[in-house]
Amino acid sequence: MFTGIVSARGTVREITPLGGGADMRLTIAAPWDCAGIPIGASIACSGCCLTAVAVGADWFAVQASAETLSNTTLGTWRVGRAVNLERALRVGDELGGHIVSGHVDAVAEALDAVAENASTRWRFRVPGALARTIAPKGSVAVDGVSLTVNEVEGNEVEGAIFGVNIIPHTAAVTTFGLLAPGGRVNVEIDMLARYVARLMDRP
- Domains observed in the chain: 8-87 (2.40.30.20), 106-201 (2.40.30.20)
Mean pLDDT of 41-68: 97
pLDDT at 5 over 70: yes
**pLDDT tens figures, 75-102:** 999 999 999 999 999 888 888 889 999 9
The predicted model gives 185-194 an average pLDDT of: 88
CB 87 within 8 A of CB 25: no
> Measured at the alpha carbon of residue 173, what is the angle toward residues 171 and 179, in degrees to the nearest 5?
45
- Give the pLDDT score at 159: 86
Strands 8-18, 48-55: pairing is unpaired
Task: Report the distance separating Cα 45 and Cα 28, nearest Å.
Answer: 9
Q: Residues 60-73: pLDDT tens digits?
A: 999 999 999 999 99
Mean pLDDT for the stretch of residues 120-140: 93
Predicted confidence at residue 202, as pLDDT, reads 59
Q: In the predicted model, what is the mean pLDDT of residues 136-162?
A: 93
pTM: 0.93
- Kindly state the average pLDDT of the residues 122-130: 93
Residue 154 — very low, low, confident or very high, per pLDDT cuts 50/70/90?
confident
CA atoms within 13 A on the CB side of 169: 3
- CA neighbor of 76 nearest in space, from 190, 189, 188, 182: 182
Q: How confident is the model at residue 198 (pLDDT cuts 50, 70, 90)?
A: low
